[in-house]
A and B are shown apart, each in its own frame.
Chain A
Amino acid sequence: MIDAKYKMGGFIALAMLLAVSPLFLNAYWVDVLNSVGLYALLALSLNVILGDAGLYNMGHAAFFAVGAYTAAYLNTQFGVPILWALPISGISAGLFGVVLARPVIHLRGDYLLIVTVGVGEIIRIALINNVFGVTGGPNGIFGIARPELFGFRIRRPQEFFYLIWGFVAVTVFLFARLKNSRFGRALDCLREDPVAAEGSGINTGRYQLLAFMVGAAWAGMAGCLYASKMTIISPESFSFWESVLIFIIVILGGAGNIAGVILGTFLIIGLPELFRGFASARMWFFGLAMMIMMIFRTEGILPHRPRIFKNLDRLLP
């Protein structure tokens, strides 16, 4: 119990440190943290699908793209303020996730993986080819307005920091609750043994779709934030490599573990920035580090652990 308290205290201290970091970091490092925050959102959303439900999804950038393009289109065409577009981005990406997952959800592991890769590529190609004339082709959509909150215009990295990490905090809060609930347990069972889960009365097909829906919706909202930060989005930001990167973060950080996923984001997105000094050998070190980390922490840095229930005795008959 004491152990858990220390752990909690450590998390809170780290969160506080992060919250005040823009006060002493320069704009560059704050922007690195912003990047980490956006990827943390993406990784947390993929974690619902890949880590919790155990569905191999290597095309997550597709949902990210749907959200980003929805927000960008609404903002540039109809002048919808970019933060108002946030829920719409989430809903459209979530719907897209369900429609997409519906016919392929019965596929096993690696077959699902290549299908999601394929979907990611199809989306990217569709964006490049200016599908329905709304995506702007290879140029993408530019001139997206900066977000405004209570009349305050967010433009500097420090300001984006609080927008992005505020959203990360809300996400962590909600997802942690989701984990410790009927919904979260159903996903756990699904990952552990789909046949036993169905045999225990869990509607596995429905939960697979729901996992895709939640994960896609959150990736879509991350896409909206991304669009508002970059003010320009183009297809190359949603490449296969992005999907791979998010996938790596989840597995390397610890599939199913929220703290692990965030730590993984810091390592995968933050570490290459530290390697900048190595110039062209940067990615070489990155690849090497990835292998070594995986070999020494084979289940990820912070693996998923069964939930500890407190005060069980009180409930005993």
Chain B
Amino acid sequence: MSLLSIRNLTKTFGGLTAVSDLSFDVEEKSVVGLIGPNGAGKTTVFNLITGNYQGDRGDILFDGAAIAGLPIHRIVTLGIARTFQTIRLFQNMSVLENVLAGRHCRMKSGLLSSMFKPPAEKREEQEALRFALGELAFVGLKGQATQKAGSLSYGNQRLLEIARALATEPRLLILDEPAGGMNEQETEALVGLIGKLRERGLTILLIEHDMSLVMRACEKLVVLEYGCKIAEGPPLEVKSNPKVIEAYLGAD
């Protein structure tokens, strides 16, 4: 069974149709790339999945249950975490605090236990710290834990966003242009990281313009143009699809 199913999803802004009758599936433990020319509606699809936008028609099924209309944080709690196209870190907080923010939805202490700190709260805090440090080590930012997030390099900020998303223990990770602003080495490392994530059993849906990355990392591509799906399939197949070449690669 597929982890995420998009069914006939449509979203319009004013007169403009950003996403039109879109359907595709993301299989469990797969890496799927969403590609298409600028303005094709890719990020809009992401925002629809994560609940930042509400679709006009269609369904979004996660693990068989409809999630459209749920508040954003509920969707995160269900197991969908994301990164943002324009990096959205808590710039003035430390790297570690950023990851702890992702841990929030898996913690329980409320207002009173935060104030009075019973042993259970302390234990939970220790657990959270350990988990967060683990994720930082996983993305390779262990050494920068106490730095201000805003002081990290661009590439490392992208990695921190991934660590924050991982701290929510997602089943589906949505990456919006994870290689944006990275140099070649960093991109190379990112491909490795995606591989490691996959080994952990995560499902990944990503938008990326870097074709070499997409070709290597994804096992399925969904191609959008003007909000419509024009192709879907394994990377090599999609690459040779004349429609795609015309609309996307050719036009580039």
Contacts and interface: CB of A to CB of B under 8 A. Distances in A.
Contact of A199 (B72, B100, B146): B72
B96 A309 contact: yes
B50 A199 contact: yes
Contacts of A202: 73, 101, 104-105
A181 B129 CA distance: 11
Interface residues of A, number: 35
Contacts of B134: 317
Interface string A144-187: 00000000000000000000000000000010011001111110
Interface in A185-236: 185-186, 188-189, 192-193, 195-205, 210, 214
Given A201-B73, A315-B126, A181 B114 contact: yes
A204 B111 CA distance: 14
A191 to B, nearest CB: 9
Interface residues of B, number: 49
Given A181-B125, A192-B91, A308-B146, A199 B84 contact: yes
Q: Which interface residue of A200, A202, A205, A214 has the most chain B CB atoms within 10 A?
A: A200
Given A193-B90, A199-B72, A214-B111, A316 B137 contact: yes
A201 to B, nearest CB: 3
Contacts of B104: 182, 185-186, 189, 200-202
Contacts of B73: 198, 201-204
Contacts, number: 126
Given A181-B121, A185-B101, A201 B96 contact: no
Nearest to A311: B129
Interface in B97-144: 97, 100-102, 104-105, 107, 109-111, 114-117, 121, 124-126, 128-130, 133-134, 137, 142
18 contacts: A177-B117, A185-B97, A185-B101, A186-B101, A193-B89, A199-B88, A200-B101, A200-B102, A200-B104, A201-B73, A201-B77, A204-B73, A205-B71, A309-B146, A312-B129, A312-B133, A316-B137, A317-B134
Interface of B: 50, 52, 71-73, 76-77, 81-82, 84, 88-94, 96-97, 100-102, 104-105, 107, 109-111, 114-117, 121, 124-126, 128-130, 133-134, 137, 142, 145-146, 148, 164-165, 168
Interface of A: 174, 177-178, 181-186, 188-189, 192-193, 195-205, 210, 214, 304, 306-309, 312, 315-317
